[in-house]
Amino acid sequence: MSLPTRVQLIDVGPRDGLQNEKQPVPAAVKIGLVQRLQDAGLTEIEVTSFVSPKWVPQMADNAEVMAGITRQAGVRYSVLVPNMKGYEAAVLSRPDEIVVFGAASELFSQKNINCSIAESIERFAPVVAAARAAGIQVRGAISCAMACPYEGDVAPERVELVARLMKDIGVQRVDVADTIGVATPHKTRRAMEAALKHYDLNNVSGHFHDTYGQALANTYAALEMGIWNFQSSVAGLGGCPYAKGATGNVATEDVVYLLHGMGIETGIDLDKLVDAGQYISDFLQRPPNSRAATALLNKRS
């Protein structure tokens, strides 16, 4: 067993985190959050999504947020895109990367993007081709890679299938997502192995929601496999509006604490990251959903 010496984190707080908030979060606050994340050393930030505002009203200010961020050299800004209409709007905002998002479960695909898995791939194909032709990177999210809120357990073969379909249409790297945060390490390992049948170690990342408190254990299990890309959310923000009861992604602060504690480099300043989490938590009027951030904030006061 040899753990990676460096880990690349994508903070998905501004998108996955805030998409689920019922109260309106002004574009200026989202822009402020992106700024604080890049100040803390995050070099990949999922900023927003170009989805239907009827489906996810919180992301309706996507173009305003993208226009308002101050881009920093060396930082990759990504956005979610479900279809050509979303791509055409997104491209005007000059994202460095787009994320097409499919699922390993048919019912979740229907509930989340209103089409079957096969239809989703058909929709993504021209989007991926257009993005690649324009020099924009393409990532693919595989939701419900371990379990589905509507279908229950999801077999690794389903993940392998979607990974293959994504690879065939030109998606460059994939996120293996535990959308509802129910997986434990063995289940996680099998889902990651399934994606690794079609993508190499550099192009598979873990996206773990923390509903049952297993996300750090799952992260460790993936690290043991050599996976070194993960998504996490500052202050543990978030959830998916189409996965009821699921809580946010694992908190970036907790992942950074884990990694630094094992001597794994992230390029992130944990204190500044805690400040970023505090900033958005103050706005939302609740404490950060991160054990490490809470401990560090208690120590400060």
Catalytic option among 115, 144, 148, 240:
240
Interface with ligand HMG by CB under 6 A: which residues? 16, 19, 49-52, 55-56, 80, 82-83, 85-86, 101, 112-114, 141, 143, 177, 179, 207, 209, 240, 242
* From ligand HMG, Mg ion, none, interface partner of 101 (C-beta below 5 to 8 A by class): ligand HMG
Least spacing, CB of residue 141 vs ligand HMG, in Å: 4
| Smaller CB separation from Mg ion, 16 or 61 | 16
Compute the residue count for the chain.
Answer: 301
Report, in Å, the least distance between residue 127 CB and ligand HMG.
Answer: 10
**3-class DSSP state for residue 276?**
helix
DSSP 3-state of 288 = coil
| Inter-axis angle of helices 117-133 and 84-91, nearest 10 | 30
Phi, psi at residue 82, to the nearest 5°? -95, -15
User: Rounded to an integer, what distance in angstroms lies between the CA atom of residue 158 and that of residue 70?
Assistant: 39
Q: Which residue is nearest to ligand HMG (CB)?
A: 86
User: Closer to Mg ion at the Cβ: 15 or 36?
Assistant: 15
Given 9, 11, 13, 16, the residue binding Mg ion (CB under 5 A): 16
Nearer to Mg ion, 16 or 253 (CB): 16
* Helix, strand or coil, per DSSP, at residue 289: coil
Backbone angles phi, psi at 103, to 5 degrees: -145, 155
Stretch that binds Mg ion, among 16-24, 63-71, 123-131, 144-152 (CB under 5 A): 16-24
CB of 118 to ligand HMG, least distance (A): 15
**CB nearer Mg ion, residue 16 or residue 210:** 16
What's the start-to-end Cα distance of the chain, in Å? Answer: 39
86 binds, among ligand HMG, Mg ion, none (CB under 5 to 8 A by kind): ligand HMG
- Residues in contact with Mg ion, counted by CB under 5 A, come to a total of 1
Interior/surface letters 219-242, b for 16+ CB within 10 angstroms, e for the rest: bebbbebbbbbbbbbbbbbbbbbb
240 among known catalytic residues: yes
Which ranges in 117-261 belong to alpha helices (H)?
117-133, 156-168, 185-195, 215-224, 252-261
Closest CA to 198 of 147, 144, 161, 146: 161
Question: Considering the complex, what minimum distance in angstroms separates the CB of residue 265 from ligand HMG?
Answer: 26
Query: Closest CB to Mg ion among 195 and 296?
Result: 195
Residue 114 contact among Mg ion, ligand HMG, none, beta carbon within 5 to 8 Å by kind: ligand HMG
Task: For the CB of residue 129, give the shortest distance to Mg ion in the complex, in Å.
Answer: 25
In angstroms, what CA-CA distances link 173 with 49, 60, 70, 203, 268?
Answer: 18, 26, 26, 4, 22
Q: Which positions are annotated as active-site residues?
A: 240
